[in-house]
Amino acid sequence: MDRGVAGDAGQRALIAWGMGWEPAQKTSGRDWLYPFLTYGLLDPYAAVRFDAWKSLQTLPGFSGFDFTYSADAEVLGEAVKKSYQKWWNEVRPANANFDLKTVLDPEGRFQEDAFDRLRRERDDKPIVLAE
């Protein structure tokens, strides 16, 4: 999960896209993906935000989640709040017990010290990806 938070934009986009891939979801489980994809909605790169949104829509409860990945920071922030609250109040398992390796505490909140470390390691250098 480190590269999904600390990697460069290409790595973050690829990981966000991969979180929407059904075989990966079946292998790793889906419940822990919601917070990470929600966090991806705030990424500095529009391509990462787009991939995070599309992958979030593959998860139960979010198929019609409305999001404008090219919006300004204030609108993005409101969408992130809405997404996280929806997950926390409507979708998150009642008896959640997340594995600490996911950088979530057992109830599903980010382990702030580990998450902050990964965020500080983020590579935000501009990149150009040839497709």
47: its two tokens: 């391509």
Mean pLDDT of the residues in the chain: 88
Nearest CA to 36 out of 84, 77, 86, 91 is that of: 84
Helix (H, G, I), strand (E, B) or coil at 69: coil
pLDDT in tens, 37-58: 999 999 989 999 999 999 999 9
At 48-89, the pLDDT tens digits run 999 999 999 999 999 999 999 999 999 999 999 999 999 999
What per-residue confidence (pLDDT) applies to 4? 55
pLDDT of residue 96: 86
Confidence of residue 129 (pLDDT cuts 50, 70, 90): low
Integer Cα distance of 12 and 22 in angstroms: 18
